[in-house]
Amino acid sequence: MSITVVFLGKLADVAGEPSRELQAPIDWAQLISMLEPGLMAAIADDTVRVAVDGELLPDKTALSASDGAEVALLPPVSGG
């Protein structure tokens, strides 16, 4: 049983990959604990949003993902 975590934008650079598989089920505390320190710090930023199966969560700490889910980590949008 697994979930796919997708790293978007600069988070993919920090992670060194666009996505990875993690053991399911997972909540926010478990997700944080499974990541390396640099990536953990990057996604802990208040501006990073979380979506589960395409639906943005109002509070990323409410994350609850089960087998087959896709969890997307979205950094703040910047541009010009």
- Does 66 fall in a domain? yes
Global pTM? 0.92
- Does 22 fall in a domain? yes
- Does 79 fall in a domain? no
The arithmetic mean of pLDDT across residues 18-23, rounded, is 97
Domain count within the chain: 1
Dihedral Cα 31, 37, 38, 41, nearest 10 deg: 60
Residue 6 has pLDDT above 90, yes or no: yes
The residue range of the domain holding 15 is 2-74
User: Where residue 21 sits, what CATH number does that domain have?
Assistant: 3.10.20.30
- Does 38 fall in a domain? yes
* Cα–Cα distance, 38 to 52 (Å, whole number): 22
For residue 79, the model assigns a pLDDT of 56
pLDDT digits (tens, 9 = 90+) for 21-80: 999 999 999 999 999 999 999 999 999 999 999 999 999 999 999 999 999 999 987 655
For residue 76, the model assigns a pLDDT of 87
- Does 80 fall in a domain? no
